[in-house]
Amino acid sequence: MACKPGIVTRIGMYPSLNGDVRSQCTDMPEIDSVATTHYTAPTDTLHHFADRPCAMLSEFELISRFFTRPAHSAILGIGDDCALLAASAGTQLAISTDMLVSGIHFFADTPPEPLGHKSLAVNLSDLAAMGAAPRAFTLALSLPSPSADWLTSFSAGLFALADRHHCELIGGDTTRGPLNICITVFGEVPANKALRRDQAQAGDDIWVSGTLGDARLALEALQGKILIAPDTLAPALARLYTPTPRVALGIALRDIAHSAIDLSDGLKGDITHIMNRSQLGACIMMDELPPGTLLSSQPRAYQYHCMLSGGDDYELCFTAPPSRRAAVEAVARQTDTPLTCIGYMTQQPGLRLIDANGKETYLADTSFDHFATP
Ligand code: ADP
Ligand code: MG
């Protein structure tokens, strides 16, 4: 669908849904000519934006105005060919990249402030899943046309979260193209203390943080797949737009958990990654799954669908030996994070879902896979 510049036709951030990407806007809201008239760049600084149709920011004005801040923990930040970062003694660097693509992970007219938050949050969530402390990140940004208003809001959302986690922006790349946000995060973890997917052991408890499924509920409400009164949707929308990366929890679990993963594609698929990497099976007690605030008033079957197959929760799922239950509960109190034991790892391969009557049940839903055939 063609989108009239400057008119927001739809709000909502749409994470990947198999075969379910709707028609979308591909244009950014038009540039605010008042805000940008004084940013007409000399021609020798025009690179990727050389074909700009009207008064717009040059590539380097854009970087310096919206993304350059003094380096604190980095030896050298934005402005050179590389940033320089010194790893602390006795630590290993944890590095992860996540890309958010317009029309795949969100609609182009998604409000920019939560989009800035979410772009970094999904990356910090990966650090959390490894028990790593955030240090720095880079931002590769492709924009159809640089709008000062959009960039102001986007960078506000991005830096608010970055500052909360003392994670500094140390570089990136900026180009004209379809809206695409790619962040690489750098974290630190004491040598050999990282929480990996391949270290689960048979008999480990499986735990999840927070609640599951409200992000999926919000998505399906925005899509019109389920009817929810708009004035009650806010808490679920917050889960979809502005997920909370469980950084403190991941760090606190370093010496307790055997393995961990963050829940981005749905519990059913994400626990399978731990199973496969650890060459084990898992048994999940469906009745123990903690539904989100809004989801808990929905029919049980729908709750299971959202909790097991809905993505975008960005909670942590981890395994720990039953002997460490008291330690896990202490971490829950210390980090003020609800933690729920939802099952256990098994020597027997495969995922078994056990219902309230103790019967094994089957859920046809699968987690999201970008390349799965519909
Ligand atoms: P190069 O051409 O050497 O790759 P660039 O000219 O693309 O460098 O970028 C100039 C500086 O600005 C570099 O330090 C780069 O890391 C930084 N930079 C570019 N885009 C961004 C961005 N979106 N956010 C943060 N830093 C950026
Ligand atoms: Mg570059």
List, for residues 266-298, the tens digit of each pLDDT value: 999 999 999 999 999 999 999 999 999 999 999
Helix (H) or strand (E) holding 283: strand 281-285
Question: At which residue do the structure tokens 């829950």 appear?
Answer: 332
Nearest CA to ligand 1 atom 2: 81
**Is 171's C-beta closer than 6 angstroms to any atom of ligand 1?**
yes
Q: Which atom of ligand 1 is nearest to the CA of 66?
A: 24
Q: Ligand 1 centroid to 170 CA: how many Å?
A: 9
Q: Ligand 1 centroid to 165 CA: how many Å?
A: 22
Predicted confidence at residue 26, as pLDDT, reads: 35
**Is 78's C-beta closer than 6 angstroms to any atom of ligand 1?**
yes
Predicted confidence at residue 41, as pLDDT, reads: 33
- Residues 174-205 have pLDDT tens digits of 999 999 999 999 999 999 999 999 999 999 99
Predicted confidence at residue 369, as pLDDT, reads: 62
Q: Ligand 2 centroid to 371 CA: how many Å?
A: 29
Tell the burial category of 233 from Cβ atoms under 10 Å away from its Cβ (0-12, 13-18, 19+).
middle
User: How far is 299 from 282, CA to CA, in rounded Å?
Assistant: 25
Q: Which atom of ligand 1 is nearest to the CA of 173?
A: 20
User: How far is 126 from 197, CA to CA, in rounded Å?
Assistant: 12
Nearest CA to ligand 1 atom 4: 81
Q: What's the predicted TM-score (pTM) here?
A: 0.85
**Is 49's C-beta closer than 6 angstroms to any atom of ligand 1?**
no
* % residues pLDDT > 90 (the chain): 72
- Residues 19-56 have pLDDT tens digits of 333 333 333 433 332 222 222 233 333 344 444 443 46
Pocket test for ligand 1, best of 69, 174, 184 (most atoms within 8 A of CB): 174
Pocket test for ligand 1, best of 63, 100, 142 (most atoms within 8 A of CB): 63
Nearest CA to ligand 1 atom 7: 173
Predicted confidence at residue 33, as pLDDT, reads: 29
Average predicted confidence (pLDDT) for the chain: 85
Q: Ligand 1 centroid to 127 CA: how many Å?
A: 23
**Is 195's C-beta closer than 6 angstroms to any atom of ligand 1?**
no
Q: How confident is the model at residue 371 (pLDDT cuts 50, 70, 90)?
A: low
Alpha helices in the chain (DSSP H): 33-36, 59-62, 112-130, 148-164, 214-222, 234-241, 247-252, 267-278, 300-309, 325-335
Query: Would you say residue 157 has pLDDT above 70?
Result: yes
- What is the separation, in whole angstroms, between the first and last Cα of the chain? 22
Nearest CA to ligand 1 atom 9: 173
Pick the ligand that lies closest to the CA of residue 65.
1
Pair 31, 145: CB distance under 8 Å = yes
Give helix then strand counts, H and E, for the chain: 10, 11
Q: How confident is the model at residue 217 (pLDDT cuts 50, 70, 90)?
A: very high
Picking from 182, 167, 154, 161, the residue whose alpha carbon sits closest to that of residue 71 is 167
**Is 169's C-beta closer than 6 angstroms to any atom of ligand 1?**
yes
Nearest CA to ligand 1 atom 3: 81
**Is 147's C-beta closer than 6 angstroms to any atom of ligand 1?**
no
Question: At which residue do the structure tokens 């046309």 appear?
Answer: 145
Nearest CA to ligand 1 atom 27: 172
Picking from 12, 103, 104, 16, the residue whose alpha carbon sits closest to that of residue 367 is 16
Starting at the earlier edge strand, list the strands of the sheet with 168-176.
91-101, 180-190, 133-143, 168-176
**Is 177's C-beta closer than 6 angstroms to any atom of ligand 1?**
no
Q: How confident is the model at residue 7 (pLDDT cuts 50, 70, 90)?
A: very low
Phi, psi values for residue 341, rounded to 5°:
-85, 120
The token pair that represents 122 in the structure block? 């999904």
- Residues 11-21 have pLDDT tens digits of 333 333 333 33
Query: Would you say residue 133 has pLDDT above 70?
Result: yes
- Residues 230-276 have pLDDT tens digits of 899 999 999 999 999 999 999 999 999 999 999 999 999 999 999 99
